[in-house]
């Protein structure tokens, strides 16, 4: 049985559209939040895979 096929992984966060950024270098940029969301998603995926023994 293929363990990967049976895992229920969360959907990866969608990348913001470049037009959503004002290009002012602010610390609460949509791309900063996106990177944080991707890191959290990656950690969650690894946790699920580890628990499943994949």
Enter the pTM of the model. 0.80
Cβ atoms of residues 31 and 16 within 8 Å: yes
Q: Check whether 18 has a pLDDT greater than 60.
A: yes
% residues pLDDT > 70 (the chain): 91
The DSSP call for residue 2 is -
Mean pLDDT across the stretch 25-54? 95
Residues 6 or more apart whose Cβ sits within 8 Å of residue 4:
54
Coil, strand or helix at 42: helix
Q: Is the pLDDT of residue 4 over 70?
A: no
């Amino acid at each position: 049985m293929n363990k990967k096929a049976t895992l229920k992984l969360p959907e990866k966060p969608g990348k913001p559209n470049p037009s959503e950024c004002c290009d002012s270098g602010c610390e609460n940029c949509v791309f900063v939040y996106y990177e944080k969301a991707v890191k959290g998603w990656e950690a969650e995926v690894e946790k699920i895979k580890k628990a499943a023994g994949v």
